[in-house]
Amino acid sequence: MSIHPSAVIAPGARIPDSCTVGPFCTIGSEVVLGEGCNLISHVVLDGHTRIGARNTFYPFCSVGVAPQDLKYKGEPTETELGDDNTIRECVTVSRGTVGGGGITRLGSNNLLMAYAHVGHDSLIGSHCILANSATLAGHVTLEDYVTLGAFCPVHQHCVVGAHAFIGGGTIVTQDVLPFSLTSARRENKAFGINKIGLQRRGFSSERLQTLQRAFRVLLASKMNTSQAMEKLRGLEGEDVALLVRFLERSERGVIK
C-alpha cells in the first residue's frame, strides 16, 4: 500500500494494498475502497461510502460528503461507486438522504469532469460523461451512456434517458428522451437522435433508421404525445419499445 505521510485515514477505513493515497487526502472511518484505486492528492472520501475497483480521484474532489439539504440531520445514508470511474478536480458527490432513498449511486466507467456536482439521492448509470460544471440537483437519474454538456443544471427528479446527448448550457427541467440530441440553441428542444454517439456505440444503420422514424413521429408530426405513443407501438424494435416505456413512466413530461 502506498499512503503519503500527510494523508489522514480514520480507524476503520478499509483500503486494499493495491491502492495509492496521495498527499493530504482524508478518508473517513466508514469508507470502503476497492482494489487499485488512486487518490492523487487532497481528496476527501467520507460517510458510508463503498467504492469499487480502479477508480481515480483527482485533487480537491469530495465524495460521500453530507448532502446540501437543510432537512438532513446526520442520518447514516450512503454513497456507492462502481468500477473504473474518473472523478476530476473539485467534483462533489453528496450522499443520500432518508427522504430520497438513502443512497447516491454511480455505476462504472463514468467520467465526471472538473467542478461537476452530483446531488443527494441521484442515480447515475454506467459510461456517462458529465462535462465541466454540469450539476445534478437531488433525486436525478441518468441512465447509461448519457453525455451531459458543460454548465448544464438538471432539475430535481428529472430522468435523462439512455444514450442521450445534452448540449452545453442547457437547463433541464423535464425528462430527456433516450437516444436524443437535446440542446438550448434558442429554447430547449430535442433535435432528433444522437446519431454520432449511437454510431460510435455500434448501432447498425437499420437501428438508426428505425429510431429516426420513431423520432419523426414523436417530434415532427402534429400528434400529441399520447397519439404519438400509440403510433410508436406499431413500430418494431427494442429501441422503440424502450422509448415508449420511457414515455409511459415519465412524471415530469419530456423535452420535445
Q: Which CATH number covers residue 244? A: 1.20.1180.10
pLDDT band at residue 43 under the 50/70/90 scheme: very high
- Range of the structural domain that residue 240 is part of: 198-249
Among residues of the chain, what percentage have pLDDT more than 90? 87
pLDDT band at residue 236 under the 50/70/90 scheme: confident
> Does 111 lie in the same domain as 235?
no
> Does 204 lie in the same domain as 105?
no
Per-residue pLDDT of 169-202, as tens digits, reads 999 999 999 999 998 865 678 888 999 999 999 9
> In residues, how long is the chain?
256
Domain boundary among 142, 170, 189: 142
Contact assessment for residue 131 and residue 222, using Cβ atoms and an 8 Å cutoff: no
> Does 104 lie in the same domain as 30?
yes
- Indicate the average pLDDT of the chain: 95
Among the listed residues 84, 121, 175, 239, the single catalytic one is: 121
Among the listed residues 28, 100, 119, 138, the single catalytic one is: 138
Strand order in the sheet with 123-124: 31-32, 48-51, 78-81, 103-106, 123-124, 141-142, 159-160
Predicted TM-score (pTM) of this structure: 0.94
pLDDT, average across residues 111-124: 98
Q: Is the pLDDT of residue 151 over 80?
A: yes
* 121 has catalytic annotation: yes
Among the listed residues 48, 120, 139, 163, the single catalytic one is: 120
pLDDT band at residue 73 under the 50/70/90 scheme: very high
